[in-house]
Amino acid sequence: MGGGFWTADYSNDDKYIEAISYAISKGINVIDTAEMYGGGHTEELVGKAVLNFQRDDVFIITKVWNNHLKYDDVIKSATNSLKRLNTKYIDLYLIHWPNPSVKLSETLAAMEELVDRGIVRCIGVSNFDLKLLKEAITLTRKYEIVADEIEYSIYNLSPERDIIPFAKKNGIEIIAYSPLGQGRITTENRLYDIAQKYGKTVVQIALAYLKKNAIPIPKSANKKHIDEIAEVLKFDLSDEDANEIRRRVSE
């Protein structure tokens, strides 16, 4: 929403602000953004959308891009994100992608400083594999890594082999991006009978499956689709059906 990678598009601002506000009103209160989305404009849209809600009722995640991971750059990026979001704090600040040319210890030291300053409440990572996640955990000094945002959907179950069991054991939240396979789910037939059993759509079943292990973050600016997503908050899949889904999509 609000543009492409590092490029802003202002043409649909009212539509996107309304969509985000509508989602919050439906109980979807975790909002994921990043400094590189729309060149920062996406953060501005989020900031405008949350104005009509109690700040503590909304959980805002944003991310620092991997060419801003040196100590001073992290501080600068977070400060700029906070201004664009027009809020008092960022709930969760993530390293968007790892960068092997910058010491992870330097980046994490800056992120811990952001918590000390009250700019950020929690810190985490994104696109970190198990090895990197373990390294990040060992390098923090004051605060814990609370989340890893990764690609996870019925089309990519690889996180279930290692990173999800580790995260569960260590109290780390997994945030699942591209949870609907970037739209592939709309033509998915393997979940149809399970969806019928629950009286739900295939989209809802796919999200309910992920909800057992992660916080899925689907994107939509369509109110009908937002209603569909919000319904997932109201039901859970049985373990038996989750196992059946896993079996089917793994074949």
Residue 149, beta-bridge partner list: 126, 175
Give the CA-trace dihedral at 118, 119, 121, 122, to 10 degrees.
-130
Q: Which of 37, 93, 177, 209 is flagged as catalytic?
A: 37
Query: How far is residue 73's CA from residue 65's CA, in Å, rounded to a whole number?
Result: 10
Q: Is 143 labeled as catalytic in the residue annotation?
A: no
Residue that the structure tokens 């210890």 belong to: 105
Q: Is 72 exposed, middle or buried (0-12, 13-18, 19+ CB in 10 A)?
A: exposed
Helix spans in 170-213 (H):
192-198, 202-211
Cβ neighbours of residue 122 closer than 8 Å, sequence gap 6 or more:
91, 92, 93, 115, 143, 146, 147
**What is the maximum span of the chain, computed from C-alpha positions, in angstroms?**
54
d(CA 206, CA 232): 9
Closest CA to 26 of 168, 232, 239: 232
Q: Strand pairing of 145-151 and 173-177?
A: parallel
Catalytic positions, written as ranges: 37
